[in-house]
Amino acid sequence: MRRSALHNPVLRTILSAWSWLVLAALLILWLPAVTVTRLVTASFDRGRYAAGRLFRLLAVAHQKLNPLWRFRTHGAAPGNPRLPYVVVANHESFADILLLSHLPWEMKWLAKSSFFSTPVVGWLMRMAGDIPLYRSREGGGARAMEAAGKALDTKVSVMIFPEGTRSRGGDLADFKTGAFRLAIEKGAPVLPVAVRGTRSALLPNDWRFGVAEADAWVLDPIPTDGLTLDDAPALAAQAREAIESFLAARR
């Protein structure tokens, strides 16, 4: 089937209904699998690497069974997945999370707290060791960064969207410095990832999935050796420039 045919409203409605059913089935299958993995590995996997990696594979399975989406990743993965990075990416859509789950190593996600209240999905996120950000609570950001630091201490990377929220117009917003302060404090390299194409995957005010061909490119890591917290704004600007320049070259 040609990709152009997927834009037909009737076909998109049928395929979206199928994809939602697939997602529900996968969640039912994944919940006991992640639960068992977490229980079996609890005594020796402090970073919940195995449970988290299994959880990310749910997004991979769903995309393979969703004809409307085609997700790809590019670039060199870290040679040692237990050498932790602070991974940062631009933020186009909620579907960024599903796309970046295709990257072949485990990361703990800093995500808004409301996700953790969602049945099944929230339970899976907690078992995977993801990190809730309580924006409405005083000190919520600091506590989230503290939890992210503990994940790095267990040799697991963390994933943060430094824009703080999704870009509405397509241009990159300024990068907040929290992720970069964390990287400097922990001596972890920053790994920029450029995302393009997820904006059409989930359409506003429409229960149906959109037609999307999305890509994520792993860029060169940025070392933090010798940096101090005073360097965090410059480090944030460097990571933003790397992503923005890469995407501009491919427009």
Q: Which residue has the higher pLDDT, 109 or 250?
A: 109
pLDDT at 73: 97
Residue 112 and residue 133 in contact, taking contact as beta carbons nearer than 8 Å? yes
* CB burial of residue 123 (10 Å; 0-12, 13-18, 19+): middle
- Mean pLDDT over each residue of the chain, to the nearest integer: 94
pLDDT at 1: 60
What is the per-residue DSSP string for 100-143?
HTTSSS-EEEEEEGGGGGSTTHHHHHHHHT-EEE-TTSTTHHHH
**Model confidence over 152-162: pLDDT tens digits?**
999 999 999 99
- Which amino acid does the sequence have at 33? A
Alpha-carbon distance of 81 to 105, in angstroms, equals 6
Domain of 136 in residue numbering reads as 3-248
Q: How far is CA 4 from the centre of its chain?
A: 28
- CATH code assigned at 60: 3.40.1130
CA distances from 150 to 42, 146, 164 (A): 16, 6, 21
pLDDT bin (cut points 50, 70, 90) of residue 11 is very high
- Total domain count for the chain? 1
Which residues on adjacent β-strands are paired with residue 215?
A: 72, 196
Alpha-carbon distance of 132 to 139, in angstroms, equals 13
